């Protein structure tokens, strides 16, 4: 009998099929990082988009994990976690909490990870709802770096408050 997570029960019109070429390559630096941080309770996924909103989300995630809450959070390499079932994906799979810092409403990071971890239910934070930005701006070259950093800091502080709440 098919279960809810059985692919045969999914409505194919709601999914895209992605074929990722397997590799035998393993990054020992990435695996060592995953082992060192395996006991941290909160995994932080982030939008990695090349647009302004993605850059602000990415910088905010880094500020949380490497500055504001390094003892409790681990920063996930989205590409590694999505494309290969090794240490990065294990960090997500085994975390007590998974927080997805999304650049915008499209929610790429969480949707990607749910494609490889069907039962994943991350806490979604849409970063561009936490700061004011001219809606017509897209590229990272359309806003001074100081403003990008200021928005990222604002987002990181707000997310840190949410995580502690």
Query: What is the domain range of residue 62?
Result: 24-164
Express each pLDDT in 98-144 by its tens digit: 999 999 999 999 999 999 999 999 999 999 999 999 889 999 999 99
pLDDT at 30: 96
DSSP element (H, E) containing 153: helix 145-164
DSSP code string of 13-42: GG-------------HHHHHHHHHTTT-SE
pLDDT at 3 over 60: no
Other beta carbons within 10 angstroms of residue 142's beta carbon come to 13
102-131 CB burial, b ≥16 within 10 A, e <16: bbbeebbbbebbeebbeebebeebbbbebb
Total number of domains constituting the chain: 1
Neighbours of 72 (CB within 10 A): 17
**Residue 150: which pLDDT band, with cuts at 50, 70 and 90?**
very high
- 3: in domain: no
- Residue 40, in any domain of the structure: yes
| pLDDT of 8 over the 70 cut | no
Confirm whether 11 is domain-assigned. Answer: no
SS (H, E, C) 92-111: HHHCCEEEEEECCCCCHHHH
pLDDT in tens, 39-66: 999 999 999 988 999 999 999 999 999 9
Q: pLDDT tens across 66-91, in order? A: 999 999 999 999 999 999 999 999 99
């Amino acid at each position: 009998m098919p279960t809810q997570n059985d692919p045969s029960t999914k409505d194919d019109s709601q999914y895209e099929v992605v074929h990722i070429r397997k590799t035998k390559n393993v990054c020992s630096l990435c695996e060592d990082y995953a082992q060192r941080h395996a006991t941290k309770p909160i995994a932080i996924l982030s939008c990695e988009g090349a647009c302004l909103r993605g850059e602000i989300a990415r910088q905010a995630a880094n500020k949380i994990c490497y500055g504001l809450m390094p003892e409790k959070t681990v920063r996930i390499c989205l590409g590694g976690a999505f494309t290969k079932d090794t240490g990065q994906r294990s960090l997500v799979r085994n975390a007590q909490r998974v927080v997805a810092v999304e650049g915008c409403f499209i929610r790429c990071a969480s949707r990607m990870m749910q494609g490889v971890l069907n039962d994943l239910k991350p806490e979604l934070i849409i970063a561009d709802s936490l700061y004011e930005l001219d809606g017509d701006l897209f590229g990272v070259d359309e806003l001074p770096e100081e403003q990008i950093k200021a928005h990222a800091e604002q987002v990181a502080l707000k997310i840190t408050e949410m995580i502690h709440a």
